[in-house]
Structure 1
Amino acid sequence: MRAPKSHVRVALATTLLAGAALTGSAAAAGFAHADSSRAGDANIAPVGRADLHPEASPLFSVARRLPKVSADQVLRLAESQVGVRENGYGGGTKFHDWYMNSPRARETVARDGGKVTDYRNAAWCDMFVSWVGDKLGIRPAMGWDAYTVSHASWFKENKRWGTHPVRGAVVFFGWDGGKLLHNIDHVGFVIKDNGDGTIQTVEGNTGNGKVEIRTRPTADVVGYGYPVYTA
């Protein structure tokens, strides 16, 4: 969900490469530009949509340097957390503890204001998504944040944003029906497209503060971020 007010002062045009390992040194490492050679792309699982222009995304170059991870592995880990719940309203999960102790927390505090301890009681749906990517070693190909709008903006800036539900995609919801990034309120992972105007998802900070598998109408979806999976 959206972060507290101290964490929402961010320009949607901000382009942040995920992870401290990429911040500041991305261009020098060659991660800031698409690889013009497609020779290495054979090991990268496509999302099945030609209109995503994968060759234009710097994430393909990044992904080849990461552990080989599939959408199924991401969903297995996410679904293994079903039932984990907060100890009190908006806080008390391992996802909060992990995020507050991550370098990303210091980066987002510097960006949005406030202090790291503010995350202790913050909405944690995006911390859950980010935790999954971190545990599997693919956060530079999935992004990590506590603020859903900024995370969605990161996918868009990296040319991995679209409107098609794909297994393993990061799905961003807006409860007021708007389709602009600033309408985003919540985030999770797509398990499957049910083909009837709904999707099955796994989400954190839902159902009275826990991880659950949900069925959601696609009318509530603002868009999808497509991590680059390599297995």
Structure 2
Amino acid sequence: MLERSQDDTITQDLLAVVTRELGYREKAGQHTKFGAWYADLTKDPQYRNAPWCDMFIAWAADKAGVTDYVGEFAWTPSHARWFEQHDAWTDQPEPGALVFFDWAGGNGIPGIDHVGIVEKVENGKIHTIEANVDKVWLKRKVRDESKIVGYGLPRKVRETLTTSPTTVELRPDAVTAVANPSPGLDPTAAVATTVLALALAASLVATGIHVRRFAVSTGRHRRKARAAAAADTQITETPRRRALTP
């Protein structure tokens, strides 16, 4: 089992939200408040009555304020691939990890059927909190690893986003002003201004400060991306209820 950092507030915040929802039951017509929330978020009504294991996690991450590190998905294979792309995919469980299942026993991401959240690992068993299990429930389960494909680690997503190089966009005229000073511009002052600008940029990169004008990668799906994904989902990834094992 991977050793979890003592300051892993993502796990604490996420589990605090999901445990409050234990015992929730799907309503008639496969309706859930999580599907309704996701449908409103994506402007796509098909999610109101769709399988909701991953939409519950998206909802919980939003409530906990950790969406950038947990992701916001309804389609479990895409969610697992997102963790893989962020160097946050592993075969080792830990509390706070998202655990992805293939009920057919496969070990590939395309075959993933279901997702839950690891609450603890004890005596070789994975204790989880899962939505849309036993047909209609949000409840605790105890799993072995026979149906588990892998785990997504939100804390590793945060590490990846934090350590990724920051791209600084410098105005071209901040450099060319030295070579081609405007009439009346003191070349010495121009050089000093340019040096100051470059020093400030270097300082921002060194300290990891993120400014809105700088290009910084985030884990959240933006609304345009969601709309595009939703359109694609209607064709190739239409959610459907799969048979779940106890």
1:204 corresponds to: 131
2:16 to 76, 99, 120: 76
> Is residue 2:82 matched to residue 1:154?
yes
Q: 2:3 is matched by which residue type in structure 1? A: G
Deviation, structure 1 residue 209 = 1.0
Structure 1: gaps of 5 or more residues: 1-46, 50-67, 107-115
Q: Give the root-mean-square deviation of aligned CA atoms.
A: 2.0
Deviation, structure 1 residue 138 = 1.2
Distance 1:69 1:131 in 2: 17
Within 5 A, what are the aligned runs for 1:204-223? 204-223=131-150
Within 5 A, what are the aligned runs for 1:85-100? 85-89=25-29, 91-100=30-39
Within 5 A, what are the aligned runs for 1:1-231? 48=3, 69-89=9-29, 91-102=30-41, 105-106=42-43, 116-196=44-124, 198-228=125-155
Point out 4+ residue stretches in structure 1 off by more than 6 angstroms: none
Distance 2:10 2:34 in 1: 22
Q: 2:35 is matched by which residue type in structure 1? A: H
The answer to which structure, 1 or 2, has the higher relative contact order (CA under 8 A, 6+ apart) is 1
What secondary structure is seen at the aligned counterpart in 1 of 2:141? strand
What secondary structure is seen at the aligned counterpart in 1 of 2:57? helix
Q: 2:22 is matched by which residue type in structure 1? A: V
Equivalent residues of 1:69, 1:136 under 8 A apart: no
Deviation, structure 1 residue 72 = 2.2
Distance 2:137 2:147 in 1: 20
TM-score (structure 1 length as normaliser): 0.63
Equivalent residues of 1:79, 1:213 under 8 A apart: no
* Identity percentage of aligned residues: 38
Structure 2: gaps of 5 or more residues: 159-246
Greater Rg over alpha carbons, structure: 2
Deviation, structure 1 residue 217 = 1.2
Distance 1:133 1:194 in 2: 25
Deviation, structure 1 residue 86 = 1.1
What secondary structure is seen at the aligned counterpart in 2 of 1:228? helix
Distance 1:87 1:72 in 2: 29
CA offsets per residue over residues 86-117 of structure 1, 9 Å max, x none? 1124x211101110111xx25xxxxxxxxx11
Q: 2:39 is matched by which residue type in structure 1? A: M
TM-score (structure 2 length as normaliser): 0.59
Distance 2:68 2:51 in 1: 22
Distance 1:139 1:146 in 2: 13
CA offsets per residue over residues 18-39 of structure 1, 9 Å max, x none? xxxxxxxxxxxxxxxxxxxxxx
What secondary structure is seen at the aligned counterpart in 2 of 1:70? helix
